[in-house]
Structure 1
Amino acid sequence: MKLAQALGANALADKDPLPPELRERLLARDPMFVASHWVLATAAVVGVVVALATLRPWQAALPRRLLLVVAWTLGVFMISRSVGLLGFGFVGDTLLLTGVRPPPAEHAALARELAWWDLLLWSPFFLLWGASWTAAGWRLGRRRAATEPRVPGPAQPPPI
């Protein structure tokens, strides 16, 4: 999606949970936003390569510890974002939509609309994405433990 937006498409750009002034700059194709979309598209490509590296035999070319750190960090970050620890997410959107946390008065309708989009589209997406990253990290860590040679301990006498 960020690649499409970097190339000029406005796919879901109007549903991005941004303050109105930033949202207008995004839709007007401000050079900062175009550049950020190129950076994010590049990061997505790198992420695909890293995700594949956790599963493919050529992972040995990359430091395993680095793959573990990246997978777990991205997984925890994305799950935190989906839950709402970073401002948006299931908790923040629910609080806003139920009126527990009032939206900004000057943008109440827009805030509610974006909260619905975030609650129904973006937060589940980030939860699934984060769960996938943590599963990849967990699997990579378990595979590492299974393939590491065991250091023999002191010899034990045979049972009698």
Structure 2
Amino acid sequence: MPSADRARWGGYGAAVCAAAYGSMKLAQALGANALADKDPLPPHLRERLLARDPFFVAGHWVLAGAAVVGVIVALATVRPWGAVVPRRLLLVIAWTLGTFMVVRSIGGVGFGFVGDALVLTGVRRPPAEHADLARTLAWWDLLLWSPFFLVWGLCWAAAGWRLGRLPGR
């Protein structure tokens, strides 16, 4: 089996991750906690999130909708019906999302393995009044969110890699 065919797991994995993320955001939009209290946000934004501020509720609906689109796009990279979507568009989407998610997981956008490690080792000290919360959220991010975004990003990258290696489509 060609290596590009073995890499089909990337598209399916990206679809599964998008479905899981979208399900969580839909649950939050409908009023469930669904890990909202574990979201690594600054304290003032976290309070708004947990108070169900209309901006955050709307954001959950938007993210749930985006996740549905993500499932469809991810599947379009591996399913025959995806051939109707321009290949270049799928490549740009897969590589862009893959890159963003891997960078997020590492810590290039504020959170991630590096940022969490800096907080947990005391190199980056949060404000004293939020130190315990910051450490708790850093642990959640280190053990749940960063690995999730890393896996999701690698799935998107594998989907893009596979799509780029396929003969003309």
Match of 1:135 in 2: 158
Match of 1:120 in 2: 143
Counterpart of 1:7?
30
CA distance, structure 2, for counterparts of residue 117 and residue 110 of structure 1: 11
* 1:147-158 correspondence runs (5 A): 147=168
Amino acid corresponding to residue 168 of structure 2 in structure 1: T
When the two structures are superposed, what TM-score results if normalisation uses the length of structure 1? Answer: 0.89
Superposed displacement of residue 147, structure 1? 3.4
User: C-alpha displacement at 1:82, in angstroms?
Assistant: 0.2
Q: CA RMSD in A?
A: 0.9
> What SS class does the counterpart of residue 147 from structure 1 fall into?
coil
User: Which is helix-richer, 1 or 2?
Assistant: 2
How many residue pairs get matched?
A: 146
CA deviation after TM superposition for structure 1 residue 19, in Å: 1.4
Any residues of structure 2 matched to 1:5-44 within 5 Å, and which? 5-44=28-67
Of all paired residues, the percent bearing the same amino acid is 80
Deviations 1:63-118 (A, max 9, x none): 11000000000000000000001110001100110111112222101000000000
Residue of structure 1 aligned with 2:101, choices 71, 78, 81: 78
AA at the equivalent of 1:132: C
Q: Which residue of 1 aligns with 2:131?
A: 108
Could you tell me which runs of 5 or more consecutive residues in structure 1 were left unpaired when the two chains were aligned. 149-160
Q: Structure 1 stretches (4+) deviating beyond 4 angstroms?
A: none
Q: What amino acid sits opposite 1:92 in the alignment?
A: G
Higher alpha-carbon Rg: 1
Residue 22 of structure 1, CA deviation = 1.2
* Displacement after TM superposition at 1:28 (Å): 1.2
